[in-house]
């Protein structure tokens, strides 16, 4: 097929002036990772809060939690990006909206907030499932010992639930890295967007996308292995797949 | 708060939004679901196959696609499909030139050996979403197949069935039945994912809304409306799936 392969392209100067194509891609990776990491902090804290709310005996808390999750799960991420980026500044009082629009890094800030909220709904689902997987007797035992309900959650339920849901949380973290690519639609120059612009400038489509793909895979492998280490470290002894006797065999 | 908004823009453009945009989105979702489940099931069978190269290739493909963003997959296929298409046609026209020429004529594709073919926006997106969602459907089907007791397959073989008969008559019907709710949930995700064809400037539902929004300078009204429509549809669909799941649940 008449396609001119040119793998040396990565060391050519980027037409936008800041180094080579390679440094441009790596800079994109920097944006991808920083967006994903900060958004992950939001997602984890909000998700833990909302997920916990949905397991409490208080009815209105459950309803608010459910509504929150349904809201963020039933609108496509792309549309949510547009809502945060184009719609929110117009809905706020004029001064605040203008301030938001003039932020030096508006796409980055918007992407972080959007991904944070979007992923928090998914984290909330996992947290709820994790708490639900614990025997009910543990909460009862906690309150019977004289702990208040918040104390029971803090010292008995949540520490176990989080350790149980580490594997699904890992895949949510991988998802947030992948989903950050959607932010290219609001102008964030993350990895996929840099690969796309490299293709537009140099016409070396397949080299650009191969490089981006490889970088994503490497990031994936690193994250998966780090999380595996963490899982081993915090495994609940005595559970299947946990540490202790069961895990000793292999 | 809404005093200086002009919700008339929706009244003026809803026909375009639904008959051009939503029809594209729904067609793409439906066809990609059917194609994705078929390809996904084949991938799952390959992953579980005892033929080592087959399971390695299928597993590698599924893991590769699942570790990169959909946006990047869309870009990949947008540029790859013309080349792969031309290559595949080249192979088949070596085997059966008459049939291939007839098929190309029927599809309206012009092909010259060694040149990338021209593929329309819809076909390109369809191939992309089939090949992308197939990886997710594959994992669902794999879980479904693996949940069937091995003894049933052995019983099938003992009765003299071959692999395809055992799969087609014993394993797959049960796997489909057990996994239908999960497959449908994945389809709701697919329906939301289709909005990402926006990156290719294609007029799906979001694309149509964004064109009207930019023409009339009515971003706020349009995007709020789009979000509302998606929310109603997805919420309705996933509630229906939940009801359906309770209805078909096998009491064990």
pLDDT score for B251: 61
**A38: confidence class by pLDDT, cuts 50, 70, 90:** very high
- Judged by CB atoms closer than 8 Å, whether chains meet at B69 and A174 is answered as no
**Which chain B residues have a beta carbon less than 8 Å from that of A195?**
72, 75
User: Does the pLDDT at position B232 exceed 60?
Assistant: yes
Asked if B240 reaches chain A (Cβ–Cβ under 8 Å), the answer is no
**What is the mean pLDDT of the segment spanning B113-134?**
86
pLDDT of residue A248: 39
pLDDT bucket at A147, cuts 50 / 70 / 90: very high
Scanning B173-212 for CB atoms below 8 A from A yields: 192-193, 195-196, 198-199, 206, 210
Q: Which residues in chain A are closer than 8 Å to B230, comparing Cβ atoms? A: 74-76, 79
Measure in Å the smallest separation between the Cα of A162 and chain B Cα atoms: 24
Quick check: B67 contacting A, CB < 8 Å?
Answer: yes
* Of B87, B198, B219, Cβ closest to residue A185: B198
The alpha-carbon gap from B154 to the nearest alpha carbon of chain A, in Å, equals: 29
Q: Is A75 in Cβ contact with B230 (below 8 Å)?
A: yes
pLDDT bracket for residue B154 (50, 70, 90): very high
A223 part of contact set with chain B, CB < 8 Å: no
A185 CB near a chain B CB, below 8 Å?
yes
Residue B68 per-residue DSSP state: S
Q: pLDDT class for B3, splitting at 50, 70, 90? A: low
pLDDT tens track for A161-203: 999 899 899 999 999 999 999 999 999 999 999 999 888 888 8
pTM for the whole structure: 0.89
Task: Give the pLDDT score at A201.
Answer: 86
Q: Could you read off the pLDDT of A85-97 as tens digits, one per residue?
A: 999 988 888 888 8
* Whether pLDDT at A41 is above 90: yes
In the predicted structure, residue A245 carries a pLDDT above the cut 60 = no
State the average pLDDT over residues B155-165. Answer: 94
At residue B250, does pLDDT exceed 70?
no
pLDDT reported for residue B122: 86
Does A84 have pLDDT greater than 80? yes
User: Residue A95: its pLDDT value, please?
Assistant: 85
pLDDT for A104 equals 85
Q: pLDDT digit string (tens) for B55-103?
A: 999 999 999 999 999 999 999 999 888 888 888 888 888 888 888 888 8
B72–chain A Cβ distance below 8 A for any pair: yes
Grade residue B39 by pLDDT with cuts at 50, 70 and 90.
very high
* Most trustworthy range by pLDDT among A132-146, B5-19, B75-89: A132-146
Res. B112 pLDDT band, cuts 50 70 90? confident
> Closest Cα partner for B143 from B117, B118, B179?
B179
Average pLDDT of chain A is: 89
- Quick one: pLDDT at residue B25? 94
Per-residue confidence (pLDDT) for residue B106, from 0 to 100: 74
When scoring A5, A36, A67, A82 by the number of chain B Cβ atoms within 10 A, the one with the most, hence best to mutate, is A82
Of B72, B227, B235, nearest to A181 by CB-CB distance is B72
Per-residue pLDDT tens digits for B187-229: 999 999 999 999 998 999 999 999 998 888 888 889 999 999 9
Whether B245 and chain A come into contact, CB under 8 Å, resolves to no
Residue of A nearest to B117 (CA): A1
Contacts across the A-B interface (CB distance below 8 Å): 107
What distance in Å separates the CA atoms of residue A205 and residue A59, rounded to the nearest whole number? 54
User: How far is residue A232's CA from residue B159's CA, in Å, rounded to a whole number?
Assistant: 45
Percent of chain A with pLDDT over 90: 66
- Please indicate if any CB of chain B lies within 8 Å of the CB of A82: yes
Q: Is B226 on the interface with A (CB under 8 A)?
A: yes
Least confident window among A37-46, A154-163, A211-220, B93-102: B93-102
pLDDT of A249 > 50? The answer is no
Minimal CA separation from B49 to chain A, in Å: 25
CA distance A212 to B9: 40
Query: Hey, is the C-beta of A90 within 8 angstroms of any chain B C-beta?
Result: yes
Residues whose CB falls within 8 Å of the CB of residue B9, separated by 6 or more in sequence, listed in order: B212, B213, B216, B218, B221, B222
Who among B69, B226, B234 is closest to A192 (CB)? B69
According to the model, what pLDDT value does residue A247 have?
Answer: 37
Q: What ipTM does the predicted assembly reach?
A: 0.89
Distance from CA of A143 to the nearest CA of B (A): 33
């Amino acid at each position: 097929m008449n396609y001119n392969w040119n793998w040396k392209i990565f060391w050519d100067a980027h037409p936008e002036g800041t180094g080579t194509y390679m440094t441009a891609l790596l800079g994109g990776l920097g944006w991808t990772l920083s967006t994903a990491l900060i958004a992950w902090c939001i997602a984890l804290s909000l998700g833990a809060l909302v997920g916990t709310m949905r397991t409490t005996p208080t009815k209105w808390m459950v309803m608010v939690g459910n509504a929150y999750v349904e809201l963020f799960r039933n609108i496509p991420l792309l549309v949510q990006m547009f809502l945060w980026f184009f719609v929110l500044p117009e809905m706020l009082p004029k001064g605040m909206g203008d301030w938001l629009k003039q932020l030096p890094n508006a796409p980055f800030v918007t992407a972080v907030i959007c991904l944070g909220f979007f992923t928090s709904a998914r984290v909330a689902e996992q947290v709820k499932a994790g708490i639900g997987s614990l025997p009910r007797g543990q909460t009862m035992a906690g309150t019977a010992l004289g702990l208040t309900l918040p104390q029971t959650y803090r010292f008995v339920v949540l520490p176990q639930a989080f350790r149980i849901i580490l594997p699904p949380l890992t895949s949510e973290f991988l998802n947030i890295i992948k989903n950050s690519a959607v932010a290219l639609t609001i102008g964030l120059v993350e990895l996929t967007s840099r690969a796309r612009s490299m293709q537009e400038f140099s016409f070396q489509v397949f080299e650009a996308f191969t490089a981006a793909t490889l970088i994503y895979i490497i990031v994936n492998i690193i994250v998966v292995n780090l999380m595996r280490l963490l899982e081993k470290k915090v495994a609940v002894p005595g559970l299947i797949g946990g540490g202790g006797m069961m895990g000793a065999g292999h | 708060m809404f005093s200086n908004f002009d919700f008339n823009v929706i009244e003026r453009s809803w026909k375009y939004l639904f008959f051009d945009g939503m029809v594209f989105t729904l067609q793409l979702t439906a066809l990609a679901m059917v194609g994705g489940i078929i390809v996904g099931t084949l991938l799952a069978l390959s992953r579980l196959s005892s033929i080592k190269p087959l399971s390695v290739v299928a597993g590698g493909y599924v893991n590769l696609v699942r570790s990169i963003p959909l946006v990047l997959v869309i870009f990949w296929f947008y540029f790859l499909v013309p080349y792969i298409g031309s290559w595949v046609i080249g192979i088949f026209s070596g085997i059966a030139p008459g049939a291939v020429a007839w098929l190309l004529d029927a599809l309206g594709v012009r092909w010259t050996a060694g040149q990338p073919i021209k593929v329309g926006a819809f076909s390109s997106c369809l191939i992309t979403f089939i090949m992308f969602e197939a990886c997710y459907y594959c994992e669902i089907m794999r879980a479904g197949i693996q949940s069937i007791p091995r003894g049933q397959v052995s019983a099938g073989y003992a009765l003299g069935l071959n692999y395809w008969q055992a799969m087609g008559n014993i394993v797959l019907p049960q796997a489909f039945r057990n996994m239908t709710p999960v497959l449908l949930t994945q389809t709701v995700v697919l329906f939301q994912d289709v909005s990402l064809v926006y990156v290719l400037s294609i007029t799906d539902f979001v694309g149509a809304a964004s064109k009207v929004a930019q023409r009339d300078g009515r971003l706020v009204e349009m995007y709020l409306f789009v979000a509302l429509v998606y929310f109603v549809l997805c919420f309705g669909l996933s509630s229906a799936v939940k009801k359906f799941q309770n209805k078909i649940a096998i009491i064990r």
